[in-house]
Amino acid sequence: MKSIITVTPAQLLIITLFSLTGMSCGSQDAVSVKKESSLTASQQLGKDLFFDARLSSPAGQSCASCHSPKHGFSQPNQKLATAEGAVKGLFGNRNVPSIAYIGFTPKFHKETEDGESLYVGGFFLDGRESTLEDQATKPMLNPVEMGIANEQALVNKIKESGYEKSFDSIYGDGSFNNTDKAIQIISRAIADYQRSNELSPFNSKYDAYLTGKVQLSKQELNGLKLFEAEDKGNCAACHPSKLDKATGFPPLFTDYTYDNIGISSNKNNPFLNNPAKYNAQGKGYKDKGLGEALKDSNEDGKFKVPTLRNIALTAPYMHNGVLGTLKEVVDFYNTRDTDSKWGNAEIRKNVNKDELGDLKLSDNDVDDIVAFLKTLSDAYQIKNTK
């Protein structure tokens, strides 16, 4: 955990949107946010690419197949621990994260806190890509995701799919003839779309509560209290939940740091049972997360703290999808160190023993935290309570 988050100009823009237009029109909220989201030309191009299932090889899979808007921009098939690619039967090693609000993630960087290195930001669960632009075309070229052979093949496919006109009109005639430039434009467009307010509507029940438009139920309020209390759930230590007092910026429920919270390996992870071509380590595969990305064993087992916005829509949970429900997740934080059912940590090094593992929450407390987490789903409709 860390305590300070700096606000970028893009975030300031959203703050303004949040305070000027957010939550001001009752049951029209979800609709009005959609209408207001006028995309720039580059964002619209990025959106077209994001939803285009013709691009994968074989055809049939788009970014949205794994990052579905109805599921908090995460995977619709909640039974799958990790994602299946365009080629059936080939699975990746990780659970699909929600990419809603991804545009606020800072670049990968190192900070120093109390003399110790602290890594912050970056993309993928292990931070291996520094910016959203760096990340953008990787899923298209990943053999266990969209499976396109190489950058030239990607550019050719996009040409065949009739995008040239949009490219020419935005970037000038012939902008697509140079592969490097075309890849840059594609990456920029996809990143721009992911920064648009379509992915960051800030219209959950909790947002409406923060701006005084609705009350939380007694149970939800108690859940929030437990979520924030350092001597109870202590969740907000890593998943901050408060409006920024200075700027009014709504919370993103992540401080973008990395931690090993002691998740066990997942025997039902299809990747573990996958053909050796993509999982050379076989069933013994252990995901070292940040440690692998940095080739530094001091960081083994650490994963980026995920946002909890839309968390009720994005089961299963954790980097390997080992936990199926929110109740299980909170139960895990509560009793990791007192109940052997959770098994050993997948990577024993660096497990956080200070902030979680034996929270002494009652069963009701656990239910209340879950009730609070359910207030974080977007497109909340405020009911007329006359």
Query: Which residues sit at the interface with ligand HEC, rule CB under 6 A?
Result: 1, 50, 61, 63, 65-67, 83, 85, 92, 94, 96-97, 99, 102, 123-126, 135-136, 139-140, 145-146, 190, 233-235, 237-239, 259, 261, 263, 303, 305-306, 308, 311, 314, 317-319, 329-330, 333, 352, 355-356, 369
Q: Cα–Cα distances in Å, from 306 out to 102, 165, 236, 239, 283?
A: 10, 38, 12, 8, 26
Q: CB-based contacts of 127: which residues, under 8 Å, 6+ apart?
A: 108, 119, 121, 258, 290, 293, 304
Q: How far is the CB of 163 from ligand HEC (least distance, A)?
A: 14
| CB 11 within 8 Å of CB 104 | yes
| CB 50 within 8 Å of CB 73 | no
Q: How far is the CB of 28 from ligand HEC (least distance, A)?
A: 29
Q: Cα–Cα distances in Å, from 358 out to 210, 264, 336, 338?
A: 30, 16, 6, 7
Q: How far is the CB of 272 from ligand HEC (least distance, A)?
A: 15
Q: Which is nearer to ligand HEC, 19 or 325 (CB)?
A: 325
Q: How far is the CB of 138 from ligand HEC (least distance, A)?
A: 8
Q: Which is nearer to ligand HEC, 32 or 274 (CB)?
A: 274
Q: How far is the CB of 280 from ligand HEC (least distance, A)?
A: 16
Q: Which is nearer to ligand HEC, 16 or 338 (CB)?
A: 338
**Cα–Cα–Cα angle for 222, 201, 185, nearest 5°?**
140
Torsion region of 117: left, alpha or beta (phi above 0 gives left; psi -120 to 50 gives alpha): beta
Q: Which is nearer to ligand HEC, 144 or 208 (CB)?
A: 144
Q: How far is the CB of 198 from ligand HEC (least distance, A)?
A: 13
Q: Which is nearer to ligand HEC, 259 or 299 (CB)?
A: 259
Q: Which is nearer to ligand HEC, 209 or 227 (CB)?
A: 227
CA distance 45 to 42: 5
Torsion region of 64: left, alpha or beta (phi above 0 gives left; psi -120 to 50 gives alpha): alpha
Q: Which is nearer to ligand HEC, 207 or 255 (CB)?
A: 255
Q: Cα–Cα distances in Å, from 66 out to 77, 85, 336, 379?
A: 9, 9, 30, 20
Q: How far is the CB of 8 from ligand HEC (least distance, A)?
A: 16
Q: Cα–Cα distances in Å, from 132 out to 104, 178, 190?
A: 10, 22, 8
Tokens of 118: 């602290």
Tokens of 77: 């098939």
Q: Which is nearer to ligand HEC, 32 or 258 (CB)?
A: 258
Q: How far is the CB of 99 from ligand HEC (least distance, A)?
A: 5
CA distance 258 to 120: 7
Q: Which is nearer to ligand HEC, 44 or 211 (CB)?
A: 44
Radius of gyration from C-alpha coordinates of the chain:
21
